[in-house]
Structure 1
Amino acid sequence: MTYLSLHSHLELARFYWKIVLQPGDWAIDATCGNGKDTLQLGKLSLGGVIGLDKQQIAIENTTTLLKNHLQEDEYKKMHLFCTSHIRFPSLAYKYSIRLIIYNLGYLPGSNKKITTFTEDTLKSLKLALELIMPGGLITICCYPGHVEGAREQNLLLQKAQELSPSQYVICHHSWPNKYASASLLLIQKKNSY
């Protein structure tokens, strides 16, 4: 039996990925960071993974991590782009995308002043809602511990509340006994509406 610890928003997100994803599916990591989530996706039996980050150092870190931890056949399925999450590369529109993940905030171990921005994330979410296939899932890890992160989480939750319940299932995991802790927003597109 697999044990799931609920203390980590990242572990919980990865649990949901494994439930939704099926062999051969395609996924997008819209904010690669240092590549840890991209690597987790790369270890699954997917058709392909598209990874994005606006910082070149993040793409370099992710590339190194993937090369060091994936088998050659797994690595060939990884497609990295140094670009903001406000646009998805044309490759994303050639496949049915079942999962799109966001891990917002700043690049760990780097300049904390370079963060994701609320307006960019909202634009990206609009594209993701259109791109994700029926039954597909969007996971968003939010970090309200800094000013932009708190604003980003608040407006994402507001946007999520505006989505039609006939088209989307929304769930928000938060840890109320941990001040300004990270949270996990899930948006699943219904199979039919």
Structure 2
Amino acid sequence: YGHDSLSLARLCAEKGALYCLDIQKKAIDSTKALLESSLPDGVKHNIYFFNHSHETFPKEIPPCDLLVYNLGYLPGGDKSLTTKVAGTLKSFKNGLNLLKLNGLISITCYPGHPEGAKEQQALLYEVSQLSPLDYLVCHHSFENRLKAPSLLLIFKRK
């Protein structure tokens, strides 16, 4: 766990901050250990961990340039502990308000399991309702692998 966070930490390095949220302490602990062992000290002070649901963002998180969602459940983990449609939609709406102008939301959806398919469908409907004057939306998916993960990108124009 934590490889996406490690890549993001390397990208924002000393100029930005990284806020990692997960409802499962196991994921937070693994991510923290990976980042501690893989990053130089000059970057580590800009990384914050929250054992917290993505439904609401902790008040410590300032407006962001990038929000990254990796929905679903932990690989190899308990599949009953998965993100759910209602919580994801609430988080997405909160995330739109947290996103800075010219910011991006990246959402990896996993339609290969029942809740993931519902999440993807609900998110696709939600983004279809966004004004094209305010947001650009792109959905990348495999047309010949319907249960493969897909990527949803939302760029805030205004």
TM-score, structure 1 as length reference: 0.79
| Matched residue count | 156
**2:109 aligned residue:** 142
Is 1:89 aligned with 2:51?
no
Equivalence map 1:152-163=2 (5 Å)? 152-163=119-130
2:23 to 39, 47, 54: 54
2:77 to 106, 110, 113: 110
> Match for 2:137: what amino acid?
I
CA distance in structure 1 between the partners assigned to 2:71 and 2:156 by the alignment: 21
Higher mean alpha-carbon deviation, 172-181 vs 128-137, is at: 172-181
**2:90 aligned residue:** 123
**1:4 aligned residue:** none
CA distance in structure 1 between the partners assigned to 2:6 and 2:58 by the alignment: 20
What's the CA shift for 1:47? Answer: 1.6
RMSD: 0.9
What's the CA shift for 1:92? Answer: 1.1
1:28-61: CA deviations, max 9, x gaps?
Answer: xxxxxx2111111111234210010001111111
Is 1:79 aligned with 2:48?
yes
> Match for 1:115: what amino acid?
T
- 1:90 aligned counterpart, secondary structure: coil
Q: Which runs of 4+ in 1 moved over 4 A?
A: none
Is 1:164 aligned with 2:131?
yes
1:65 to 17, 20, 34: 34
CA distance in structure 2 between the partners assigned to 1:132 and 1:179 by the alignment: 30
- 2:90 aligned counterpart, secondary structure: helix
> Match for 1:134: what amino acid?
L
**Structure 1 gaps, min length 5:** 1-33
**Structure 2 gaps, min length 5:** none
- 2:148 aligned counterpart, secondary structure: coil
TM-score, structure 2 as length reference: 0.95
What's the CA shift for 1:179? Answer: 3.2
1:42-96: CA deviations, max 9, x gaps?
Answer: 1123421001000111111111111111111111111000000011112213xx4
1:90-141: CA deviations, max 9, x gaps?
Answer: 2213xx4100000000011211111001100000000100110000000000
> Match for 2:46: what amino acid?
K
CA distance in structure 1 between the partners assigned to 2:131 and 2:8 by the alignment: 29
Aligned-residue sequence identity (percent) comes to 45
